[in-house]
Structures are given as structure tokens and as C-alpha cells.
Chains A and B, each alone.
Chain A
Amino acid sequence: MSRQADVLTMPREKIEQVQLEGLRKTAVHCYEDIPFYHKSFDEAGFDPYSIKSLDDVRRAPFVTKQDLRDNYPYGLVGVDRKDVREVHMSSGTTGVATVAAYTEHDLKAWSECFERAFEFAGAGPEDVCQICYGYGLFTGGLGAHYGSLQSGATVIPISAGNTERQIRVLREMGSTVLECTPSYAMHIADTALAMGVDPAKEFHLKVGIHGAEAFSDNFRRELERKLNYKVLDIYGLTQTGGPGLAVECLEQNGLHIAEDHFLCEVIDPATGEVLPDGEWGELVVTTLDRQASPVVRYRTRDITRILPGECACGCTHRRIDRLQGRTDDMLIIRGVNVFPSQIENVMKTFDEVSSWYQIELTTKNYLDVATLKVEANPDFDIDSTGAIEELQRRIQAALKTALSVGIRVRLVEPMSIQRSEGKAKRIVDLRGENLK
């Protein structure tokens, strides 16, 4: 930590003071300048001028993605259009896009938040960073770009795609920082290996800043082994201004929230109640410093928890745990919460099966029955029914240990798990259909 050391090691009381000021300012800004908030605060009986402590945020109503969509395109922008310097949009694959607008001030704050990844990694002007997030409306590309520039590093804005060229540049330009999604980093590593290039030896990487997708610890270890570098997670979402909301440090034990810019709560997604530190739930975010697109209590649908205690790195900003999936993905099997990422972690420990899987949920005698369908890898000995049964039993036992709920495991034929655009349909819930 160097460039932003003062902010990152601020005493707790000071952070909370900054947060309280930011909360007051943001709540009033939303109420006075954005009709949607004026109405929703009034309806909820929430007076933004009455905020005395950080806990007062709990009296404010939640904002959902649907609210953002309903106000597309400029409905939730809190400044004059002429003060908006840049606009980003979520992909809108599941409906209307949501918009994030930035003033000059917002862009600067965004750069600083993202730059903290460099602070934590010990990277800066002496580094060369290769940004292969897609540039464009996706906040990942330009967010990484601004953050990297802010750090003083040399930026190669190569964007996503053309993997062979990425590999050439990684070898020849001496890139030390790789910024892309974790799955793309893996794709680069595997493509290099297939080309006969050993990335652990021929690349010059120090650190990877990989966000926009949840990834497991096993996946991280595999990346670190293949590319011989440190992998840091970065989190953010379009609706709160893009990546940089929280960034992992070299301890690799949770992501430090940029608490001078964001107030984070974790709630029970079912009741909306705020949960104590350490408990898993849905992350709710209030921006403290945004002008163009402020949000108060935005429900991210991302599952995490606030990590109690101080971090050994010295940063005083609290941490959230690695994302455990989304509330939309969470399964409740016989009353137990199960996230697909937990299943993935178990699957990764079995070389015999591919990473394609599908969970099928049915009901038998009023009880949930979960079946995990997996595909055997080509070199698995399917000629031995004993080996098939034994593999199924071992995966079943590992799942039981990891999830505390019984899941049947079934080996299925290759390609029998539905794929759409390269992604497997992970969950087939038939519980509603066969209740009779």
C-alpha cells in the first residue's frame, strides 16, 4: 500500500464518520433529485434528513434490479445530462438493461476504487498490465482501464478475444498484470499449453486481477499453478458503478470493501432482516459518494457475508467473503441452502468427471430428491460397472460432507447435459411438476 495508504488504513471511527456523512449526503441527494426515491422514501416513511447513525439506513426501502429497469434509461440519474461524462449498461440478457452513469467525479472515484487492487498487489508504475476484459458498455473493461492508469502502470488495452495474440503479447511485451475474467485466464493458460508454450515459464506475470465471475478456490489454485502468479478477486456490479466495490488483498482471505465509497449490509433474502457479521446472506449496497447514479440499499442478489475481525494486511476496511453464488441460483434441498459453486468445488476434486453437471430436483413421498448428473471423462474406464458404481459412491460421499445434504450421483452419457451457448443448464427443478 502506498498511493492510497492513508485511506486504506484509516482508523475505524474515521471510516464510520466518512460513511455517515456519505450516507446522509446520498439519501438527501436521492430524495431531492430523483423522483423515484422521493416517492419510495415517502411511501416507506423514511425521512432522509433524520439519519443520525449508520444503522438508520435500515429504515430505508430496498431498491431492486427491476426498479432500475423500470426507470430505464435516465430515470435514476441524479444529475443534469450535461454533467454525465460516461454511461455503461448491464448486458440486459435477462431483460431490459440497467444504466450506470458517471460524472467526472464518479469516474475518478471509480478509478481509485479499482486501483486498490494494484495497491494490494504491490503493483504500480513499474508494471505492464494487459487488460483483456471486453471494452465497451461492460464496466469490466474501462473500469480496469481507469484503475490501471490510476496506478501509474503501463496499460495494454488489448480487450478480449484473439487468444493467440494475447499469448504472444504476454510473452513479448512482458506483461506482469493480467486483467480478465477468471475463465478467460484459464482459457489463455490452456491455449498456451496446447500451443506448446509453458505460461509458467514463458510469461512474466506477477498478479491476475480477475472478476466478473465467481470462482472456486480450487480454480484459483489451478490458475496460479498454470500461470505462476497470484490471483486476486475483484467485485462490483454495474448497478453500483462497476468493479472496485471490493478488492482482495494478498492474504486472499476476503475482499476489502471500499468503505469510504460504499455501505454494505448482508440481509436474509427471505425476510429482508439485516444479519450479524459472519452470517451468509444477500449483499445490499448503498453508494456514499456517487453523483450520477447513486443507489440506496440496492439488493445485489449476490450471496456473501461480512468477515469479522481484522485483516493481517493492515487495511482497516472490512471484508466480504468470496461470493458464493446468487440468490437466484440458491437451491433449498430439504431445507438446506445449497449453492452450485459448492457442488463445483467438490466436482473439481474428481479427475474422472468433466466440469459439466446438472442437478435435477424431484419430489418423492413429499421429500426433495436431488440427483447430480455428471459426465465421465474419456479416459475413465466405463467397461467396469464396479468402477462406475465406486465413482458414484465416492462423489456422493464427498458431496454429503461438503453440503450436509444427500445428493444422488448419476453418471450420464456425454453431451446429454443440456448446454446453451457453451454454458450448462445447471439446475432442472421439477419439484413443482410432480407433487401429485
Chain B
Amino acid sequence: MIDQLTVFLENSEGRLAKLCRALADADINMKALTIADTTEYGVVRIICDDAERARDYLDQKGYRAMVTKVTAIEVPNRPGGLADLLGVLDDLDIPVEYGYCFSTAGDRAVDILKIRIASEASKAVFKLEESGFRVLTQKDL
């Protein structure tokens, strides 16, 4: 499991820019960012170095931020990489709340999955590793 920084933002002009500026000021480097948005608000999910420090900094700046545990899995950077991964979870009947991928240079990509129930998440990790996937820890990033 790795740390993800989640920030609740109003869906209005300039909010995301402001958030990113705040993170830059705190010297936080982002590896991935995704937004679940509605017309009224957005939930911004970020993979970065030191999510805890980022959360504390944002708290202090008046943001609603939290650190969430998510599962990060390395998959081959080729067609069907993610399909294979999700297939394993589907066979186990483990629901995935949300997910996103980021491709780094090279032949590997990283998929981030949120599995709501902790016991299900550890079951998933076990099964994925058994199926040959590499589940990443914080220091792998």
C-alpha cells in the first residue's frame, strides 16, 4: 500500500492552480494527479513524495486534505496490461472504488487502485503477487 493525498476542492476557476502552487511552495513533487469532478466540487487525488507532510501543510493553509492508503501495482506497459490486472480482481469478486494509471518512461506502468475494505485489499495484494504482478511500496516510487 502507498500513500495518496486526497484534496477536496470547490469546482471553481483557479482552485487547482492554487493547490498546485501550494504544493510547490511546500516543495512537494507530484508523480500523478487525477480529479474526480462534479459541477460543484472535485476530489483531487495525488501521488507524491511525503503525502503526510503535504497533508499537514495543506491543513494549515485551510484545505480539506487527507492521506488515503491505495494499492499501487506495476504492470507491463503493453496493450492488455490493466485488463489482466483487473481480471484477477474480478475473479476474486473484489470491488474497486476507483483507479487510475500512470505510465513512467520504460516498459512498466503503474496502476493505482482503491479497494475500500482493508481486508479485501490485503487479499487482493496477496492474489496479485501470486499471479506475478509486482505490488509497490512507498519506497518503490
Binding site for B on A (CB under 8 A): 375-376, 378, 381-386, 388, 410-416
A383–B66 CA distance with the chains assembled, in angstroms: 8
Kindly supply a per-residue 1/0 record for chain B positions 1-37, scoring 1 wherever the CB is within 8 Å of any chain A CB and 0 otherwise. Answer: 0001011111000000000000000000000000010
Q: By the criterion CB–CB under 8 Å, are A376 and B41 in contact? A: no
Q: A378-B64, A382-B66, A383-B45 are in contact. Are A413 and B9 (CB under 8 A)?
A: yes
B68 interfacial contact with A, CB 8 Å: yes
Q: How far is the CA of A376 from the CA of B59 in the complex (A)?
A: 13
What chain A residues lie within 8 Å of B4 (beta carbons)? 383
Give A389's nearest chain B residue, CB to CB.
Answer: B38
Q: Which of B10, B59, B68, B97 is within 8 Å of A416, CB to CB?
A: B10
Tell me if A383 and B63 are in contact (CB < 8 A).
no
Contact yes or no, B63 A385, CB < 8 A: no
Contact with A383, one of B40, B59, B114 (Cβ below 8 angstroms):
B114
In addition to A383-B66, A384-B116, A410-B41, 17 A-B residue pairs with Cβ atoms within 8 Å of each other are A378-B64, A382-B8, A382-B43, A382-B64, A383-B4, A383-B68, A383-B114, A385-B36, A385-B43, A386-B97, A388-B8, A388-B41, A411-B8, A413-B8, A413-B62, A414-B62, A414-B63
Closest to B97 in A: A384
Scoring A386, A413, A416 by chain B CB atoms within 10 A of each residue's CB, the highest score goes to A413
Question: Per a CB cutoff under 8 Å, which of A375, A381, A412 touches B66?
Answer: A381
A376 touches B8 (CB 8 A): yes
A383 and B6 contacting across the interface, CB-CB below 8 Å = yes
Bound: A252/B36 CA distance, A: 48
Which A residues are in CB contact (< 8 Å) with B62?
413-415
> Known: A413-B10, A416-B10. Is A385-B38 also a contact (CB below 8 A)?
yes
In the complex, chain A residues whose CB is within 8 Å of the CB of B6: 382-383
Task: Give 27 pairs: A residue, B residue, CB < 8 Å, sorted on A.
Answer: A376-B64, A378-B59, A378-B64, A381-B66, A382-B6, A382-B8, A382-B64, A383-B6, A383-B43, A383-B45, A383-B66, A383-B68, A384-B116, A385-B38, A385-B43, A388-B41, A388-B43, A410-B41, A411-B8, A411-B41, A412-B10, A412-B41, A413-B62, A413-B63, A414-B62, A414-B64, A415-B62
In the bound assembly, the distance between CA atoms of A381 and B68 in angstroms comes to 9
Q: What is the distance, in angstroms, from B52's C-beta to the closest C-beta of chain A?
A: 15
| Nearest A-chain residue to B15, judged by Cβ | A413
**Complex contacts, B43 vs chain A, CB 8 Å:** 382-383, 385, 388
B63 CB to nearest A CB, Å: 7
> Which residue on chain B has the smallest CB distance to residue A414?
B64
* A residues less than 8 Å from B41 (CB atoms): 388, 410-412
List chain A residues, Cβ under 8 A from B66. 381-383
What is the minimal beta-carbon distance from A117 to any residue of chain B, in angstroms?
42
Among B10, B64, B66, B97, find the residue whose CB has the most chain A CB atoms closer than 10 A: B64
| Docked CA distance A383–B65 (Å) | 9
Please give, as numbers and ranges, the residues of chain A lying within 8 Å of B116 by CB-CB distance: 384
List chain A residues, Cβ under 8 A from B63: 413-414
Contacts A382-B6, A383-B43, A385-B38 known; A413 to B64 CB distance under 8 Å? yes
Give the residues in chain A near B59, CB-CB below 8 Å: 378
Which B residues are CB-close (under 8 A) to A412?
10, 41
Q: Within the complex, what minimum Cβ distance (angstroms) separates B68 from chain A?
A: 4
Q: How far is the CA of A383 from the CA of B68 in the complex (A)?
A: 7
Specify the chain B residue showing the minimal Cβ separation from A408.
Answer: B40
Interface centre among B8, B40, B59 (most CB of A within 10 A): B8
Cα separation A360 to B134 with both chains bound (whole Å): 50
Contacts of B114 in A (CB 8 A): 383
In the bound complex, residues from chain A placing their C-beta under 8 Å from that of B8 are 376, 382, 388, 411, 413
Q: Which residues of B contact A382 (CB under 8 A)?
A: 6-8, 43, 64, 66
How many Å from the CB of B19 to the closest CB on chain A?
A: 10
B10 neighbours in A (Cβ, 8 Å): 412-413, 416
**Which A residue sits closest to B68, measured CB to CB?**
A383
- Bound Cα distance A411, B66 (Å): 16
CA distance A412 to B38 in the complex (A): 13
Chain B residues with CB under 8 Å of A415's CB are 62
* Residue of A385, A386, A410, A415 most packed against chain B (CB within 10 A): A385
Which residues of A are found within 8 Å of B68, using beta-carbon distances?
383
What residue in chain A is nearest B6 (Cβ atoms)?
A383
Q: Which residue of A378, A383, A416 has the most chain B CB atoms within 10 A of its CB atom?
A: A383
